[in-house]
Amino acid sequence: MALIAIEEHWNLPALTSAVKALPEDYGDPSVLFDEMGDNLERLHDIGDARIAAMDAQGVDLQILSLTPPGTHPLEPTRARALSERANDVAAEAVSRHPTRLRAFSTLPMADPKAAVAELERAAGLGFVGTMVYGRTGETPLDDPRYDDLFAAAAALRQPIFIHPQIPSRPTRLAAYSGFDPMTDLALATFGWGWHVEAAVAALRLIVRGTFDRHPDLQLVLGHWGELLLFWTDRVDGLSRIAGLERKVSDYIRSNFHITSSGMLNPTLLRHALDVTTPDRLLFSTDYPFQRPVREGIEQFLTAFPADDREKFTAGNACALFGISLTTK
């Protein structure tokens, strides 16, 4: 049984340096997590050591994605240059390991026209989708200036992964501060804030009518749907108010894929199956921030209905991203 992991991170040192150099109001302090333990060493390697780690886990293929915050905090000129550089580096890694790696592109979202152009260039290089965040500066992902990007992604069959993003600094100060600095940061990121931000971005796209205009557009949410799957009874009420064609939960079932992000919890799996279908679920480990071992992965997979297990491990990813698995 093949196993594809779709949210597996890497890092471009030049991009990290550019983000760290930003003023406090524009930077992203969550890059600190990249430097914990041996994360940085693993993030910088998209070659033999990564392949060895995949072998140890039993992962046949990874889809590479740049660590947060991508190029989103950067001004347009810098964002364009570093997005192109990141994509060239990732494409080279895939070319060296064509049976083991694929990649999501990085887009210069500060320049919407350039983001469309880079999506098109990356698709031509063989990228299987793109990873974005819910906000660029103060501009939300659902802003009309990004509608051409969604049209292009739908036409090119490039799924868009909305990755969690740290809340804006005013929000962090208002809702996630008052403890020691590391607790503030943890609360604003993996403890809660990251996931609310991603869920709000996805919900805003639905409410904006994005999927009524672009019914073929496919999005991916990590961490079992970033809390959104647990709130469908309430968010469905938005459809009537916003004048949508369908219920919010219908868009989730038809335009969103949901991935595990290393949270190998059978309870979360069962709930996801209650809200959406086995055809919409994807495996991921969130490497290197989560590192489930082979035995843990194999045990978790026994919780998945046997008839649909291979969809979750590889079949759904192959169908969504146009991946054809070959022998190692």
3-class state of residue 35 by DSSP: helix
User: What does DSSP assign to residue 226?
Assistant: H
Number of H helices, E strands in the chain: 18, 10
The CA distance from 35 to 44, in Å, is 11
Q: Active-site residue 55, yes or no?
A: no
Residue pair 70/85 in contact (Cβ under 8 Å)? The answer is no
Q: The tokens 């290089």 sit on which residue?
A: 125
DSSP calls for 67-124: PTTTTTTS-HHHHHHHHHHHHHHHHHHHHHSTTTEEEEEE--TTSHHHHHHHHHHHHH
Strand partners, 61: 4
The CA distance from 175 to 187, in Å, is 9
Residue pair 61/81 in contact (Cβ under 8 Å)? The answer is no
Using alpha carbons, select from 166, 237, 174 the residue that is nearest to residue 203: 237
Choice among 28, 34, 184, 286 that is catalytic: 286
In our burial notation (b when 16+ CB lie closer than 10 A, e otherwise), range 288-324 reads: bbeebeeeebeebbeebeeebbebbbbbbbeebbebe
Kindly state the tokens that stand for 176. 């996630």
**Which helix (H) or strand (E) is 169 found in, with range?**
helix 169-175
Catalytic residues: 286
